Amino acid sequence: MSVVSVQNLTKIFPRNTCALKNVSFQIDSNTFLVILGPSGAGKSTLLRSINRFVTPTSGKIFLNDQDITSVHGKKLSLIRKNIGMIFQQYNLIERLDVLTNVLIGSLYTQPTFNKLRSCVFHTFSKLEKNQALDCLNLLGLMDCANQRVDTLSGGQKQRVAIARTLMQNPRIILADEPVASLDPLNTSIVLDYLKKIHETKHIPIIINLHQADLAKKYAHRIIGMNCGEIVFDGTLNELTNVQLVSIYQGNKA
């Protein structure tokens, strides 16, 4: 059964800017998918459509066979509990310690009153704290649990953001250029941990990347985008130099 199914997705922004054009694909729980392409290819718009930060102009998005294309309000909030999102910017509260930042991820699964109480008083249950520590352990950050976030390196901050996402118990993780601002060493560390999470927790992951070499190293499947369209969809072995030209230069090659 597919976890995500995207059908003929199109997004047109004001002034007739077409960010996505008839994009279709589906993935199951065994998929580590890299969306590869240059800036402006439509990669971020695609992820933001899947988590419904962007409303498509036309087409359909299904999450576990549920049509989420037009949902809003409380129904949309319930759906977003199942979708973990990792950004290029870590979106952490830097004056707080690492453990508290990770615990904030559990707020997605709490009733509104409990959310407010936890936010104001930092009152998290022992079970939640143990789960957060497990997430930090999985990301190699146990020694940093009581450290303020603003003392961490960029790579460590991104791993804290990933641990916070795991606190949601997501059914899928979307990562939008999560290593774009990291050095090569931290890039490898972060992607290694994402691959480990996929393999040990069986969570499908869709990740946007610019770099073809990283896509070749980590992806089970690669979708290449150019000017809002899918120009390649296949395995690592099928990604030839000709295909890379079509992804990065389009029909002008």
CATH of the domain at 19: 3.40.50.300
The single residue listed with the structure tokens 């615990």 is: 103
pLDDT tens per residue across span 138-149: 999 999 999 999
Query: Stretch 127-131: mean pLDDT, rounded?
Result: 93
Residue 44 pLDDT: 95
pLDDT above 90 for 15: no
pLDDT value at residue 122: 61
Judgement on whether residues 68 and 105 belong to the same structural domain of the protein:
no
251 and 180 within one domain: yes
Same domain (yes/no): 118, 218: no
Which residue among 116, 140, 169 closes a domain?
169
Is 30's pLDDT higher than 60? Answer: yes
User: Does residue 198 fall inside a structural domain?
Assistant: yes
- Domain count of the fold of the chain: 2
Q: Which one-letter amino acid corresponds to residue 123?
A: T
120 pLDDT more than 70: no
Strand intervals (E) in 180-251:
205-209, 221-226, 229-234
Residue ending a domain, choose from 131, 152, 169: 169
User: Quick one: pLDDT at residue 116?
Assistant: 45
d(CA 110, CA 144): 26
The predicted structure's pLDDT at residue 163 = 96
pLDDT in tens, 185-226: 999 999 999 999 999 999 999 999 989 999 999 999 999 999
Do 175 and 248 have their domain in common?
yes
Which residues, in sequence order, are CB contacts of 178 under 8 Å at separation 6+? 86, 87, 88, 158, 162, 190, 194, 207
pLDDT of residue 112: 45
Q: Given pLDDT bands bounded at 50, 70 and 90, which one contains residue 16?
A: confident
SS3 76: helix
Pairing mode, strands 58-63 and 4-13 = antiparallel
Q: Which pLDDT score is estimated for 250? A: 67
29 with 152, same domain: the answer is no
- Residues 141, 145, 148, 151, CA torsion sign: negative
Q: Give pLDDT, residue 115.
A: 46
Is 88 among the domain residues?
Answer: no
What domain range includes position 162? 93-169
What's the CA gap between 103 and 47, in Å, rounded?
Answer: 24
> What does pTM read for this prediction?
0.90
Per DSSP, what are the bridge partners of residue 32?
205
Instruction: Using the 3D structure, point to which of 120, 139, 169 is the last residue of a domain.
Output: 169
Integer Cα distance of 17 and 8 in angstroms:
17
Question: What phi and psi, each to the nearest 5 degrees, are found at residue 166?
Answer: -65, -25
